[in-house]
Amino acid sequence: MKELSTRTTLPVLPIQSEVLFPELGMPLVITRSASMAAVEVALSSEDKSIAIFTQKSADIDDPGEKDLYDVGTMAVIKKMVRFDHAFRLEVHGVSRIKHLGMVLSKPYLNSNLRYLPELSDIGTEIEALQREMIELATKMFSLVNPQIQLNLSFILSNVEKPVSQAYLLATLLSLDVEKSMLILSANTQRELYELMNGYLHHEIQVLELRHQISSQVESKLGREQREYLLRQQLRIIQEELGEERPEQADVTELRQKLEKAELPEKVHKEVEKELNRLERMSAVSPDYQLTRTYVELAIELPWTQSTEDQLDLDHSQKILDEDHFDLKDVKQRIVEHLAVMKLNPSAKAPILCFVGPPGVGKTSVGQSIARAMGRKFERMSLGGLHDEAELRGHRRTYIGAMPGRIIQAIRRAGVRNPLLMLDEIDKLGRDFRGDPAAALMEILDPAQNFDFHDNYLDMPFDLSKVFFITTANTLDNIPKPLLDRMEVMRLAGYSDEEKAQIARLYLIPRRLEEAGLNSEKLSINNEALSYIIRRYTREAGVRELERTIGSIARKIATRVARGDDAAVIINPDMLVDILGPEHFYAEQARQSLAAGVAAGLAWTEVGGDVLYIEAALLAEGKELTLTGQLGDVMQESAKAARSYIWANAETLKIDTAKIRKSGVHIHVPAGAVPKDGPSAGITMAAALASLYLDRPVRNDTAMTGEITLSGLVLPVGGVKEKILAAHRAGIRRIILPKENKKDLTELPEHVQQALDFVFVERIDEALLAAIVSISDASTEQKAVVV
Amino acid sequence: MTTQLSKLMQSLQELHGRSFRPAWQPAVDIYRGEKEWLIKIDLAGVRKEDIEVIGNDHFLTIKGQRRDLQIQEGHQTYSMEISYNRFERNLELPVDVKDASMQIDYQDGMLFIRIQTEEKP
């Protein structure tokens, strides 16, 4: 058999970016004229052989010998189709070749070549390398796509020779030209496999990294997409079942509510608009909840609903009397208002401010008023409120926006004319977020509050029918413009007798009921009650008293529950057993006063108090020392008192040398409590006069009043509390500025009876009334005794 | 002398280790008769003298080459689908072909190989 010529000169077909390996096929499209000429020559040979070399750079159009790698592949053209300006070929690699030199035979190249031997080195190591290659390739393809794995073993089984398998893998890996050329140029199997294993390793690492990254991205995307898909499916299922979407059901329900609610036309329109928006929204959108809450609020607000006022004056009066003892002013004011309402139904509601110490019943009187008038009662505490938005609401654009407390209270009340109690208005805070007091001014002004504008609601709401009552412990902290809008009603503290009455009428029955007892099982006699009031409580109101009574009731209830059913009447002797030792020693009038000590009267937020002002002479000292946490006003008042005494030493028969040569120290106990105000001026003057004269002040006398340097006595505040405190302490005689005489009408009858009042206009009158020897010695009794 | 010798050695080596992988594989039909195997191989256009049949154990190798002998001056290939150049086909048979009597015919471009077996395989 004659061998086919193993020709050593073949036409050259340069290819770009690809490498043809032996035993593998490759489709090619030839367009370059030189290449087409080379192919024509190959096709007209009897063996259709051609030399295929890869270009070193893909960019070169007309490559010469130097532009080609020197190792290539002898190939046979298996199929060919001619087009106008191109050939499509299928070539099949047959053998590795190396060109020894090229001849340009216009227009193509001819190569003088040498056939490279087959890779024939063998050994166990080579076999191990080859198996490693197959394993790596399997792993790699499983990373690309698990399905290819099956195909790979099939593909590889078609290629018998391991070397050819390596070439096949190199093609499948689509390595770049340089790496492919290294593979093709490998002259031993060992070299070939080592190269391949290196490339496979690298490829696996890259793939693993890619997997890691893409799986991270996928898991992120996955959740949201899943949710979206599920929702879409849910929607389709619901449509299929003929069910409404939940949001649609929501809107329908709201629309029904809207039709039922009697809203003003403007509001109706606005709500309708919001509802239409809501209808188009998806329930997942964050705006949905926001709009829904808003619509609900707008529908639920009592735009037109109101309660009918209870205008039977006698009935109202009865209710007020039932609920509270005394408080005549307040009750009277309410009844007056009801009378006005009866005659003029469109009258504006007054805005009241109840001022008084804790526990005097400010809040509960509010509840009682609501009951008497037949109005809904809502209360909110303003204590510590420091953000204007709390009152007026946040704009709807904010996340978590809510209507203000006022609108919320109205909504809770369900009517537009409730009695709205704003507690602790004197404890409003303020900071950089705004001043709630300023917002309150709009709310509490009947001329403005008919179109109160809540930021959240964004529609005016009429507050003019709301009966506002505010409460405060003191007026000092209320801004003046705000105070100006309110009608202030003082609820002063109660006297011991009033407390006893309150206890009898309200506290004891209530506490007995709470403890499950009745008046047959437990009663408290009068002495015990007043003992409790004096020795176990010290307050202007009755809270502590009520707690103490509650504590007695519980102790007795324990006894009854244990089986001791005997009726108990509490008398003072039993109190130590039940309540423990006395909590307070009553601010008893001191039995004897040394010279330089005078009883003053003080007003505190929890009622009045008696305080003894003590003065001591410091021989050879000079200064005036003041102690006892005195405020500026009180210190100045002390200086004025001293200067007055000094200036009038002669009239008062005081030795000026004594004043000049010695210092004086004034102390006001209790030293831990800060004190201020001018009302102790008269007391300090009395203490100093007594000191310099070395004659004591009368021990049954207390005094209060502001003084001037010229000797006038000016009126002071809190007289009722002060007198009640003096009365409690056992003082019999009180020196007051003449202008405070009118305040005595506030006092209970029995207190007025029990005390002597001395009204003074000038300090010397007060001193005469206060200091024993002067008043005794004086034939001219200037002071007026009532 | 040395150069000549080494050149000779090199060319010998090249001849021996030359890797001419086949460019194509012919189609094969295999039949089993009472006492023979009949193998038909499609080798149209292959000259008889360019065919080689080798038996070895259970393997039968048919190889050779198809040459394009009708290349006419002035003709241009318009399209080509027939594979030329070397072919090779390895067949594995359930009979030991080395000792079996074999009859080879070549007729109308088909190669027929008959392998006689002692009994029905």
What is the ipTM score, two decimals? 0.77
- Residues of chain A found within 8 Å of residue B78, distances taken between Cβ atoms: 82
Residue B7 in this model has a pLDDT that exceeds 60: no
Please indicate whether residue A722 is annotated as part of the active site.
yes
Please indicate whether residue A157 is annotated as part of the active site.
no
pLDDT recorded at residue A247? 67
* Chain A nearest C-alpha distance from B100 (Å): 23
pLDDT recorded at residue A671? 65
Catalytic residue (choose from A111, A637, A679, A775): A679
pLDDT recorded at residue B10? 46
pLDDT recorded at residue A12? 93
Report the alpha-carbon distance of residue A203 to residue A184 in Å, rounded. 19
- Residues of chain B found within 8 Å of residue A94, distances taken between Cβ atoms: 20-23, 85-86
In a domain, B18, yes or no: no
Return the CATH architecture of domain A597-785. 2-Layer Sandwich (3.30)
Which of B69, B80, B85 faces A43 most closely, judged by CB atoms? B80
* Chain B nearest C-alpha distance from A62 (Å): 24
Return the CATH architecture of domain A124-210. Up-down Bundle (1.20)
In a domain, B102, yes or no: yes
Whether residues A94 and B14 touch (CB distance < 8 A) is answered with no
Which of A1, A92, A115 faces B50 most closely, judged by CB atoms? A1
CATH 1.10.8.60 for the A496-579 domain, yes or no: yes
Whether residues A120 and B13 touch (CB distance < 8 A) is answered with no
Report the alpha-carbon distance of residue A122 to residue A695 in Å, rounded. 136
* Chain A nearest C-alpha distance from B35 (Å): 31
| Residues B69-113: tens digit of each pLDDT | 888 888 888 899 999 988 989 888 888 887 788 899 999 999 999
**Which long-range contacts does A242-251 make (Cβ < 8 Å, 24+ apart)?**
A245/A283, A246/A283, A247/A278, A247/A279, A247/A281, A247/A282, A247/A283, A247/A288, A248/A279, A250/A278, A250/A283, A250/A292, A251/A275, A251/A278, A251/A279
Which of B19, B23, B84 faces A117 most closely, judged by CB atoms? B19
Tell me how crowded residue A488 is: count the other CB atoms within 10 A of its CB.
13
In a domain, B94, yes or no: yes
In a domain, B120, yes or no: yes
Whether residues A45 and B68 touch (CB distance < 8 A) is answered with yes
pTM of the model: 0.51
In a domain, B11, yes or no: no
pLDDT recorded at residue A786? 37
pLDDT recorded at residue A19? 92
Domain ranges (residues) in chain A: 9-115, 124-210, 246-300, 313-490, 496-579, 597-785
Number of domains in chain B: 1
In a domain, B93, yes or no: yes
B51 at the A interface (CB within 8 A)?
A: yes
More confident residue, B7 or A210: A210
Instruction: Classify domain A9-115 by CATH number.
Output: 2.30.130.40
Which of B17, B76, B84 faces A48 most closely, judged by CB atoms? B84
Residue B43 in this model has a pLDDT that exceeds 90: yes
Catalytic residue (choose from A362, A376, A499, A722): A722
B52 at the A interface (CB within 8 A)?
A: yes
Ranges under pLDDT 50 in chain A: 1-2, 776-786
Whether residues B67 and A4 touch (CB distance < 8 A) is answered with yes
The CA-atom distances, in angstroms, between A368 and each of A309, A319, A330 are: 14, 7, 11
B10 at the A interface (CB within 8 A)?
A: no
B74 to chain A: closest CA residue:
A44
In CATH terms, the superfamily for domain A313-490 is P-loop containing nucleotide triphosphate hydrolases (3.40.50.300)
- Burial per residue of A428-464, b for 16 or more beta-carbon CB atoms within 10 angstroms, e otherwise: beeeeebbbbebbbbbbbbeebeebebbbbebebbbb
pLDDT recorded at residue A642? 85
Q: The domain spanning residue B111 has which CATH number?
A: 2.60.40.790
Which domain covers residue B34, as residue numbers? 24-67+83-121
| Residues A417-465: tens digit of each pLDDT | 888 888 888 888 777 767 788 888 888 887 888 888 888 888 888 888 8
pLDDT recorded at residue A216? 79
